[in-house]
Amino acid sequence: MALSQSDHPSPSTCVYIRQPVKSCVVRQALPCTIGGATNGTSVSSTRQEVVLVKDNVLELMIFDAMHDPVSLRSVAEQHVFGQIKDVKLLKLPRRANNLQSVHMETDEDVSVDCLACLSDSGYLTFVSFQYDVREDALIPDYSSGRFVRVSEVSIAPPGLDYKDLGHTLAVDPLSRAIAVTAFEGILRVWPVSNAAATIVSNEECATLHEEGILWQIAFLYPPENESDLVQFVVAKNIDGNLTIVVYEYRRNQPLEEMKRWAPHVITQDVVPLHMFALSEIPGSFILITDGDMHFVRAADDRLEVLELPPLRSSSERPERQVVVAASISPARDCLSAEKQSLRQSLHQTLYLATEQKHLFRMQVTAEPMAVTYQYLTETKTSARALAVLHSDAHVEYNALFGDFCDGEIMTVDANMVITTEMPIRNWAPVLDFNLADLHREGHDTIVLTSGAGAHGSVREIRNGIGVTVHASERDTIHGANGLWSLKRRVEDDSDAFLVLSFVHETRIMSLEGAELEDVGTENHGFDTTVSTIKAASLNYPGLYVQIHPEAVKVAELGSGKDIGGKWMAPPGDNIALGAVSDDLVVVCLARTNTIVLLQVTMDEDRKEVRFNEMGQRKLDTTPSCLYCPSSAVQRLCREKSTGPLFMVGTFEPSLLILSLCEATPLAQLHKHTLVATMTSESISIPHSFAVLMSNSGIRLLAGLRDGKIAAFRWTWQEGRPPILTSPDMLRVGFFPVELVSHPQEDHVIAFTDRAWKVFLSGNEIGMTGISFPRVLHATPFAYAGVSDGYMVIAKQTMHFIELDEDKRANMRSLNIGEAPRRILFDAVTRKVLVATTVRHGGEVGSELRVMDPMSGRCYLKESLQTDEKIYALKVWNVKEGKRYICVGTWGYRATTSSEAQGRVLVYNLKAYEKREKPACPQESRKPVMYKMKQLGEMILDGPVQSICPFLGSYLLAAAGDTFYQLKIDAHTRKLVIRAQLPLRWPIQCIDVHGTRVIVGGQKESVSFYSYNVQTKTFEFLKSDRYGRPTAACLAIDDTTAVATDKCGNIVGFSAGDYTGLERTLDTTFSFHLGEAVMRLQLGSIVQQAITEEDPNRTKDEKSTLSHWYSSEGFLRGGWGPPADSVAAIATSSEAGHTGGDRRKHMDGFAGPRVIYGCSLLGSLFAILKITAELYERLIVLQEVMAVHEKTRPLLGNDHARYRSESLQIKFRGSIDGELLSQFPSLDAETKTDIVKQWNDGWTVVRPLAAELRGNVTVEDLARLIKMLDEQCF
C-alpha cells in the first residue's frame, strides 16, 4: 500500500470534516426499480422507488401512494465525491447486474434499473443499489443499503472541459446502446452488452464528430418489426440555427457503417431544453426549446416537423411560457428486453412545468396522430425537476421539486382535478445562518434564511431523534399528574385504555376506532373521585388494578361488573407509592414507611377477588419510588438468580432490591448507597427505575431527582442475589428524571427538562437527544402501524407521538413571505432579527424584522431606503448589560441624484409592556412588544459587507476596500471613525480575536492585522501566499483562522510566531467541500450527557472502560479552550459574540465546539478539530478506503484530486468524514479486509505503537467513526 500523507509529520491543526445535512437541490428525479421495491417483489405496486440526483449526492426515496397521507421517504443518501453532470436509467438483466433483491426469481427476463452517470471524473459509471436480503423480509431492508458501482469506462480526462466527452448522456429505451456527447464537437456511441461485466467497452464504440454546440441527444423507439434498428437524434446549434441530425445503424452490422442523415434546420436563436422519444409513435420525439415546441418524426431518411401551438394559461393572459421541467407518463416506458413488444396504447402524456409557475398536460395520440394540451393549474412553486411517481387508470401522482422554494406532490385524476398531497422540502438557497440555544437545552440549534421571493422563510434545524405527533388534546388534561396505558390482554398488539390521574380525580379513556373516548362512570370500575398512584394490568385477562391513597382496587374496565376487589390502607395511614408485577401488588404506607406485599387471587368463576397479604417490611428511611421489572426480566431472575424481585429508592439516598419470592417475601437482596460524585454535591435521590436488556447484558437505570441517571451493570451468580457494580453517573438535566421503558426493553426514554433515548451500544450506555419540548408525564402506547408510540403530557397538552428510529436533522419552517438575506439571534430578547428584501409595486427595498423564533410572530418591521440592501447584521456587546444591533447596507442615496453608498446603522432593541388590558381575563401579564431606536449612523463609500465588534467599545466595518474602526463618541453620542485602513481589493469579511483582526478579501485571500492599543493603529502581520476569492473567515485564536472561498474550499491558516521576516501564513489544512460556504460559525448542535465519576468505583473498574484508542486526550476534539472556562468567555466577549453565545456551554450538555458552515445549496458542514495522534491513525484508514474497490469514490474520481483545492494546492491535514462514514454500512467481508489493510499500514507508519496497542478490530473502528460523527452532529 502506498502511503502519501501518512509518511509526513502531522500538521499543527488537524480536522475531521463531515456533511451531516446534504444539499436539498434536486436536479433530476428518476422513478425506477433500482432496489426492487415494485416489479418482482411482494411489495404493493403503489410503492415506487425514486432516485434524486443532486450536485454531488445520490438519494434513494420511497413513494407510497397508499400511505395516508401519501409519503415520500428518504431511505439512503450517499456522497459521490464528484460533480454529477447527467444521469439516465439503464435496464439490465438481474444476472448482469450481479445484485440481490427481495423475492426475485432468477428468470433471465427479470431486469432492474441501474444508473448511467456522467461526472467530472472522466468516467461513464454504472451504479446500482445494494442491500441486505433477509429470508423472512416482506420488503427490502433499505437501511442496510448503499449505492455501489457495477461498472465504469473511461471517456475523458478528469474535469469538465467543453471539448471533452461527459456533458450529455442518452440511453436507448431497449437498453441496446448508450451515447455521450461533449459540449461541442464530439460524441461517442457504445453498444450495450448485457452479458459482459463491463456493460460497455471502449474497444467497441464509435466516435463521431459534429460541428457546433451539442445541446440534446436521444434514442428513438424502433418500429415494432425492426427491433434491430437503432436510431438516435442530436439537437445542436450551429451559426445560431437549431439543427437536428439523425444517426442510425443495425445491431448486426459494424458501427463503422453507421448512417448519418442530412442535417435539418428547425428554427433559429433558441436553445433546446428537453427532448422526449415517444414510445407510441416509433421514430418520433417531442422537442421543447425556450421559445417553442415541435413534434418531429424520422422516417424514410427525412424529418417531418410539426410546430406545436404555444402554451397559454388562459386567453386573457397570453404571456410566453418557458418550460423549465418536464416528465413523460407513464414514467416507466423503458422495457427490459428486446423480445418484449413495445407497449401500444391509445395515447401518451407529458407534464410540463413552466417558469411562469403553470402546469400543463400534453397528450400525444398515435391514431389518428394528434398533439393536444390542457392547462391544469398555477403551481405554488417554480419547478426545477418534475417526475410522474405513480400512474393508473384513475390518478397520476406528480412530484414538482421546487427551485428556491419547497416543491409539492400533486394528483391529477381522470376529471383533471388537481389536489396537493404533500410538500417536498427545499430550503435552498441559504444566504445566512445563526447558532442559538432556542430551546434552552444547553446546546445550539441552527436558524437559517431560506428561499426567495414570496417563498422566503426562516428555518430551524434541530439535532436529535425526530418526533411525529399523530394527535393532540389540550382542553381536558390541565393539571394531570400521571397517565398509564392498559391492554385488554397481555398478548394484544394495541393498547385499549388510557388512565389519567389528576389531583382529586381519575379519568379512564377507551380507544374506539381511532378516537379516545371517556368511559362512563358506571362502566369502568375504578374510583374516579381520587388521584391514582398506579394503574396496571394483572396477569388475569381483563383485570386491572388501581392504586390510590386509600386503597388498592381491582376491576374489569368497561364491563360495569362489580367484582368487589379492594384492599384498604390501615386506619390513620395512606398509600404513598405502588407497583405491580403479574399478580403481585407492592405498596408503601406513608406514615410508617412500611412496604406491604399483596397477592391478588380470583376464583374460577371470576366472581370474587381476594387479597393475600404475603408480608410487610418497615424501612429505616422514607421510600422515594417503587419499581417492578417486566415479566421478561422476572423470568430471567427466576432462571439465573433467587427469583422475582423489585426495587425501592429511598431518601437516604439508596437503592434497595427486595425479593418477591413466596418463600422469602420482602427479603433484602442488595443495597447500594448513592453518594455525591466528585463533580456534583447534589443528593442523588432515586425518582424512577428502568431496565435495559440486550445481547451484551442487562443494565438497571435509576433516574435521580438531581437530573442524573445512575446506570448499574447487573450480573448474577447461580442461586445468588443480583450483583450491581458501581454505576456510571450520567447527568441528563437538572429536573427529576422520569424513566419510561419501551415494552421490548431495548431502549428507555428519559424525561427531565430535556428528553433522551437511552440504549445499550455494545457494553456501553448510548444516549441521543429527542427533539421535543419538556415532558411531564409519559407512557408507552401501542397502536396499529405505530412502532414506537407514546402518550405524553407537555405544556398542558397530551400528545400521541411516535419516535423515529435514528437521530436526524429535524426541520421547522416559519414563512415570512419575502426573501431573507441575513439573520441574527438576540440573546437578550430571545428573538431573531431577519433582514428581508421586499417589493412594493416596482420598487425594491429592505426591512429588518423582529420575530419570535418559536411562533413566527413578527413584532416589528424597520424599513430602509428604497434600493438599499442589508449585507451585514451583528450584535455589539459594548459592555455588560448593554448591547446594540448593528446593520451594514449598500444602496443608500442622500439625494435621488447621489451615488450609491454604504451605511452602518446602530439600533437599540428593547421590550416593553403594552398598556392595554390582556386579551384573556385569566392572563395577569400585559402583552410584551418591542421597539427599535436608531442610535447612530455612519455613511461610507462602498458596500458594508461585514461588521464585527472589537475590544468591547469599538466596531469594525468593511466598506469597499477599506475597513474602519468606529466608536460612539462619549460627548456627542454619534458614531465616529477612529481609524481606517485601505487595502488593495474589496473586503468580503472580517473577524477578530483580541487585538488580532482577520480580513478576507474578494481576491487576495486572508490577511492578519494587529491593533496597537497605545498608538491606535493597525499593523499588517501576515497573509496567505495564494490568491483566493474569500467567502467567510473565522478567527480561532491569536495565530489561527479558518476561511472558505467561493470555489468551495475550506482552509486553515496559522501565523506561527511574528518574530521572523517571513510574512506568509502557513496552510495547516485544506479541503475541497464541493459547495460554496458563505458563513462560518463556532458552536455545538450536539446534545450529550455529562459523565460524572463515582468515587466508589475502583481503579480496575475504570480501566476496563478503556479501548485501544482511549489514551489521555486521544479523542478530545473541538476548537479553542474549554467553552466554560474564563478564557473562553473572555475571548468570546472580545470577539463580540452575544451573551447567550458566551453562556450556552455552561451547563455542559453541548458537545465539543465545532465549526459549522452552510452552503448556498443547503448543505451543512461540520469541521471538528482532532488531535495529531488521532489524525495519524485516521489518515492511514483514509488512504486505505480511498483506493479500496468497495469504498473509493463512487463515480470514479481520484479522492485526493477531488478533495484538493487545485492541482497546485493539495489537500492536507483533513480527514474526509464522508469517506470514512461508509465503513459501518459495509458488508462484514469488506470491513475485515479494510481493517487488515489498516493494521498493515499502521505497522509500517508506527511500528512501536502498533506493537504496544495490538491490532485494531472491526468493532473498534466502527465505534471510533461513530463517536467522531456523534461529536459533529
Which of residues 1109 and 870 earns the better pLDDT score? 870
Work out the average pLDDT over 150-157: 94
CB–CB of 501/528 below 8 Å? no
Residue-wise pLDDT tens digits, 628-664: 998 888 888 888 777 899 999 999 999 999 999 988 8
Quick: pLDDT tens for 246-279. 999 999 888 988 999 999 999 999 999 999 999 8
Average pLDDT of the chain, as a whole number: 85
pLDDT at 136: 54
Does residue 183 sit in the same domain as residue 244?
A: yes
Q: What is the pLDDT of residues 1076-1096, one digit of tens each?
A: 999 999 999 988 777 765 555
pLDDT tens by residue, 716-752: 777 778 888 888 888 888 889 999 988 878 889 999 9
Per-residue confidence (pLDDT) for residue 379, from 0 to 100 = 87
Number of residues that this document lists for the chain:
1273
Residues 834, 822 contacting (CB under 8 angstroms)? yes
Q: What is the CATH number of the domain that holds 270?
A: 2.130.10.10
Q: For 1011-1045, how does the pLDDT look when each residue is reduced to its tens digit (9 = 90+)?
A: 998 888 999 999 999 999 999 999 999 999 999 99
* pLDDT band, very low/low/confident/very high, at 453 (cuts 50, 70, 90): confident
Lookup: cell for 755? 428528553
983 falls within a domain: no
1146 pLDDT higher than 80: no
* Residue 1266 lies in domain: 1172-1273
Contacts of 454 (CB under 8 A, 6+ apart): 817, 818
| CA distance linking residue 825 with residue 754, whole number of Å | 22
DSSP 8-state secondary structure symbol assigned to residue 1140 = H
pLDDT at 316 (0 to 100) = 66
Q: Is residue 88 part of a domain?
A: yes
Q: 466 pLDDT exceeds 90?
A: no
Same domain membership, residue 137 and residue 177: no
The letter for the amino acid at 506 is T
550 within a domain of the structure (yes/no):
yes
Rounded average pLDDT over 889-900: 92
What is the C-alpha to C-alpha distance for residues 680 and 430, in angstroms, rounded to an integer? Answer: 42
Torsion, CA 866, CA 868, CA 874, CA 878, rounded to 10:
-80
For residues 483 and 603, membership in a common domain is answered with yes
| Res 606: pLDDT | 61
H or E, element range at 1250: helix 1247-1253
- Look at residue 38 and tell me whether its pLDDT is greater than 70: no
Q: Are residues 93 and 194 in the same domain?
A: no
| Co-location of 524 and 565 in the same domain | yes
Examine the domain organization and report whether 64 and 43 are in the same domain: yes
Provide the grid cell at 48.
415506487
Q: What is the mean pLDDT of residues 288-302?
A: 91
User: 768 vs 887, which has greater pLDDT?
Assistant: 887
1107 or 213: which leads in pLDDT: 213
- Looking at the fold, whether 1250 and 1201 belong to one and the same domain comes out as yes
- Can you tell me the mean pLDDT for 781-805? 85
- Residue 1157 and residue 1150 in contact, taking contact as beta carbons nearer than 8 Å: no
Do 338 and 304 fall within a single domain? no
The proportion of the chain whose per-residue pLDDT surpasses 90, expressed as a percent, equals 53
CATH of the domain at 1193: 1.10.150.910
Strand partners, 473: 798
pLDDT in tens, 670-709: 999 987 543 445 578 999 999 998 877 889 999 999 899 9
Read off the pLDDT band of 339 (50, 70, 90): very low
Going by pLDDT thresholds of 50, 70 and 90, the confidence category of residue 195 is low
> 780: which 3 cell numbers?
408507552
Distance separating alpha carbons of residues 1213 and 672, to the nearest angstrom: 49
Report H helices in 137-206: none
Q: Which of 200-214, 321-335, 392-406, 1258-1272 has the lowest mean pLDDT?
A: 321-335
Nearest-CA neighbor of 1273 among 425, 140, 462, 431?
A: 462
Residue 836 counted as domain residue: no
Confidence at residue 291, expressed as pLDDT on a 0 to 100 scale: 86
Residues 484 and 525 occupy one common structural domain: yes
Does 610 fall in a domain?
Answer: yes
pTM of the model: 0.89
SS3 95: helix
- List CB contacts of 661: < 8 A, sequence separation 6 or more: 642, 643, 644, 667
The answer on pLDDT for 919 being more than 60 is no
pLDDT at 1121 over 70: no
Indicate whether 364 belongs to any domain: yes
974 forms bridges with which residues in the sheet? Answer: none
pLDDT above 90: residue 121: yes
Pick from 562, 592, 618: which residue ends a domain?
618
- Do both 174 and 303 map to the same domain? yes
Strand partners, 372: 363
Residue that is last in its domain, among 571, 596, 618: 618
Residue 61 in domain: yes
The DSSP H or E segment spanning 546 is strand 544-548
Q: Which three cell numbers stand for residue 754?
A: 430535556
Question: What is the Cα–Cα distance from 923 to 863, expressed in whole angstroms?
Answer: 33
Which amino acid makes up residue 21?
Answer: V
Percent of the chain's residues with pLDDT above 70: 86
Secondary-structure percent of the chain, ordered helix, strand, coil, rounded to 5: 10, 50, 40
Cell 453562556 belongs to residue: 1143
Is the pLDDT higher at 842 or at 649? 649
Q: Mark which of 110, 131, 151 sits at the end of a domain.
A: 151
In terms of domains, do 258 and 187 share one?
yes
pLDDT for the residue numbered 43: 40
Between 1258-1272 and 1228-1245, two packed helices, what is the crossing angle to 10 degrees? 90
Q: Which residues 6+ apart lie within 8 Å of 1151 measured at CB? A: 443, 1084, 1086, 1087, 1088, 1118, 1270, 1271
* Burial class (CB within 10 angstroms; exposed 0-12, middle 13-18, buried 19+) of 241: middle
Euclidean distance between CA atoms 169 and 188, whole angstroms:
10
Asked if 702 contacts 712 with a C-beta cutoff of 8 angstroms, the reply is yes
Task: Look at residue 1135 in the predicted model and tell me its pLDDT.
Answer: 39
Residues 229 and 283 in one domain: yes
Q: Is residue 381 in some structural domain?
A: yes
Q: Evaluate if residue 1125 carries a pLDDT over 50.
A: no
Number of domains in the chain: 5
User: pLDDT tier at 335 (50, 70, 90 boundaries)?
Assistant: very low
Confidence of residue 916 (pLDDT cuts 50, 70, 90): low
Distance, CA of 137 to CA of 1262 (rounded, Å): 26
